[in-house]
């Protein structure tokens, strides 16, 4: 299995969620985070105002899927998150060795 971690602009959460629903993704986890990428010291737009890029609010979306779905999830998030402006985000793919569904005790791919 893989964990896809995407750090994206907060206003894009709904679009990404919809896009993931359309490809059948059934679970995800969101965290409020802050960050910056390569433009530290330059300007990035947040809520219509320009900020010098230091730490800007972002959302981390995490989706754990079977190996075969990982590439599609990455592509779907990338497309939905993209505005063409700086700060659109980063996507990281991390290996997951096991998954457990607490209620049922299922493990591995069927637990995802």
Ligand X SMILES: Nc1ncnc2c1ncn2[C@@H]1O[C@H](COP(=O)(O)OP(=O)(O)OP(=O)(O)O)[C@@H](O)[C@H]1O
- What residue ranges bind Mg ion (CB under 5 A)? 37-39, 86-87
Q: How far apart are CA 89 and CA 81, in angstroms?
A: 7
3 lies in the binding site for its own copies (CB under 8 A)? yes
Site for its own copies in 31-90 (CB under 8 A): 31-38, 40, 55, 58, 60, 64, 74, 77-78, 81-90
Pairing of strands 89-95, 2-8: antiparallel
Q: Are 13 and 23 in contact (CB under 8 A)?
A: no
- Nearer to its own copies among residue 23 and residue 93 (C-beta): 93
Cross-strand partners of 63 = 4
4 lies in the binding site for ligand X (CB under 6 A)? no
Site for ligand X in 76-95 (CB under 6 A): 86-90
Q: Which long-range contacts (CB under 8 A, 24 or more apart) does 44-51 make?
A: 44/85, 44/86, 44/87, 45/85, 45/87
> Where does this chain bind ligand X (CB under 6 A)?
7, 27-29, 35-39, 56, 58, 62-64, 86-90, 101-103, 112
């Amino acid at each position: 299995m893989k964990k896809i971690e995407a750090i994206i602009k907060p206003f894009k959460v709904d679009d990404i969620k919809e896009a993931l629903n359309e490809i059948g993704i059934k679970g995800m986890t969101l965290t409020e985070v802050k960050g910056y990428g390569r433009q530290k010291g330059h300007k990035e737009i947040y809520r219509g105002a320009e900020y010098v890029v230091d730490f800007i609010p972002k959302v981390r979306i995490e989706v754990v899927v079977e190996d075969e779905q990982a590439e599609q999830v990455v592509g779907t998030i990338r497309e939905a998150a993209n505005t063409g402006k700086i700060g659109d985000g980063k996507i990281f793919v991390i290996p997951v060795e096991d998954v457990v569904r607490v209620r049922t005790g299922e493990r591995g791919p069927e637990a995802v």
